[in-house]
Structure 1
Amino acid sequence: MVRVLLADDEAMIRAGVRAILESDPRIEVVAEAADGHQAVESVLAHRPDVALLDIRMPRLDGLAAAAELGRVAPGTRVVMLTTFGEDEYIARALAGGASGFLLKSGDPRELLAGVHAVAGGAAYLSPQVAHQVIRRLDGGGRMARDAAARRRVAALTPRERQVLGLVGEGLSNAEIAERLRVVEGTVKAYVSAILTRLEVRNRVQAAIVAYEAGLTHGKD
């Protein structure tokens, strides 16, 4: 069972999102919040697996709440859910430690898939957001970023590079373990080491490094 906190300042939006989440018997909404402060307090009280945060909320917005949760409740993974898909919001969310970014205008199936993926240890971006991230990476300075990423990845062992490539493809720890025919605990150890050696905060940032270094199938 995936335990979820839902934070949005609009009650009707919360009701709609909750209905979608609870249509999946493997998901339980354990608490709701109407602003970022309530979200942080509720996470500390309920310790959910996933915190689903709107970006624009009063008192403390979702981006600031995500950063605070990264400090006080690192065991809860954060997914941003918003109507706003601008590059600035995406960049700030990922830099702040979010593991997923979903648009409210997306398919409800994306919401369920994203929650399960993030709860399972993977990163998840809605297709529209993934397109914007890739477009951003393909902009100016691409060659310099690619070269820097390849230098960082060169410091990894061959197995760590293999695991990083699979992280970049969006696979969870369990899926990577199945692919490599190892136990999931071994994959967790590899991922932890990779994050430390690359000096990144989460799997999304590691996936971006994998993309820039040419370790994923989506890289030309």
Structure 2
Amino acid sequence: MPIVAPSILASDFSNLRQEVSEVASAPWLHLDVMDGHFVPNVSFGMPVIKALRPHSKAKFDVHLMIEPVDPFLEAFAKAGADHITVHVEGNPHLHRTLQTIHSLGCKAGVAICPATPPEALSQVMDLVDIILVMTVNPGFGGQKFLESQLPKIRTLAGMIRQSGRDIVLGVDGGIDAATTPRVTEAGATMLVAGSSIFGKQDRSAAIAALEQASVASVI
């Protein structure tokens, strides 16, 4: 059963503490940080993550869609990030960045945009703990799942097996009960879901529905 990571980008920002409490059954909480430069949107930063940290036992899975990223790594770690994911496309010194994230006591992740080939990660498979395949173009929630990313998920799943390492393979964008069986069959082990969780009245039931959809893909 994959990890389900609710994305608070789809939540009610005027009531974040309550929104986070309603997804307490999820082991991870996904936090999208956007700067209006690397992606065409602005979301939130360290103060919001720090404010939410005491109110959740989930692992804080922080996805940095910002450029530059290196000057802010320590601040996000201190704010409460358990995992820090950066983009291969916006980081010319990815190897060093992943080393820095580890030195801060966090799991290190790399996100990959739809137009980027999986081979772009071939030189960091020994350092990465999480790979996040963007199944939409990053920047906005509620987008339609891109079918073209399924072969990439399969390729990356193969690269992970070949590495012999326990790397989490996540997917982010358009994830719901219909797309979940397809991405888990392709090899995804973590699901970032926004609207399909926070768009439902019963968030715990929505999380369970995604888990059950993934189970159905392997029966």
TM-score, scaled to structure 2: 0.38
The higher radius of gyration belongs to 1
Structure number with higher helix proportion: 1
TM-score, scaled to structure 1: 0.38
